[in-house]
Amino acid sequence: MNALIGRLAACLVSFAGAVALAPAYAAYIPLAELDVAESDDRQRDFSAETDLYCVALAVYFEEGSTSETLEGQHHIARVVIERARADRTKWGGRELCDVVFYKRAGVCQFSFACLPLARRTPRGGRRWETAMAIASEELAGRSESGDNAARYYMNPAITSDRNACRFRKEFVPVFEAGRHEFFREPDEDERRMLASSEPEACKRYKAALEMKKKIAKAAAEKRRKAQAAKLKGKRSKYAGR
């Protein structure tokens, strides 16, 4: 029991100031169930509850920002779980909560994790119940989400051309589900092919940069002419005296 509580405490550190898990978990457990659960803590698996809560958070907030379909939500949960199974430092290691709340150089792996605590706290209701059910199914391996090769996902409708370009030049598309596209990491041959590719998002981003440079150049030229005209006016004024 003490070991499990210790693990919970360690996990909470990665929440960047989040409230203790027990009160948060109590927010969505019906009171009757809570009374029964707390009557004998030996029957509770705090580690499993923590994992479930963290995966559900990812599903809940990723769905909330895009109105994702159920199929897409399942794949989002699968990406989180597969990253933890891969146990790679760049994704936060093997603990699910560490993966969900992983931050490097001030950038969160999952954007909602960088929101203020009040904005990344679930409010219950049907959306939260759905997120919990999806997380539970994926953790138990009961879903039919299929391909588990995906490690990244992107919603092209709300992703900037800059980030979409990076995705398409670094990762291999695997499938589309709901509003998201899912990707995997490339092998060496695929990496070379991707590096030499020119996706549409990259073309748009390059064109936008060129337009930005032209606008900046035109603005600089306008300022130069204005300054030259002003200087010429001063010279004419002095010459007329």
Rounded CA separation 124/131 (Å) = 10
pLDDT of residue 143: 73
Q: pLDDT band for 124, please (50, 70, 90 cuts).
A: confident
> What is the predicted pLDDT for the residue at 145?
67
Task: Work out the average pLDDT over 133-151.
Answer: 84
SS3 198: coil
Q: How confident is the model at residue 18 (pLDDT cuts 50, 70, 90)?
A: very low
Residue in 150, 155, 191, 141 with CA at minimum distance from that of residue 173: 150
Q: In what order do the strands lie in the sheet with 180-184?
A: 152-154, 180-184, 172-177
Q: Which of 127-136, 205-214, 225-234 has the lowest mean pLDDT?
A: 225-234
User: How do residues 70-122 score in pLDDT, each as one tens digit?
Assistant: 899 999 999 999 999 999 999 999 999 999 999 999 899 988 899 888 788 88
Query: Which range (19-23, 37-41, 127-131) has the least confidence?
Result: 19-23
Question: How confident is the model over 45-67, as pLDDT tens digits?
Answer: 788 889 999 999 999 998 765 67
| Contacts for 81 with CB less than 8 Å, ≥ 6 apart | 55, 96, 138, 139
Percent of the chain with pLDDT over 70: 77
pLDDT for 28 equals 38
pLDDT bin (cut points 50, 70, 90) of residue 132 is very high
| Residue partners of 75: CB distance under 8 A and separation at least 6 | 145, 150, 153, 177, 178, 180, 182
CA dihedral 232, 233, 239, 240 (to 10 degrees): 150
**Domain residue ranges in the chain:** 2-143, 149-241
Whole-number mean pLDDT of the chain?
A: 81
Percent of the chain with pLDDT over 90: 49
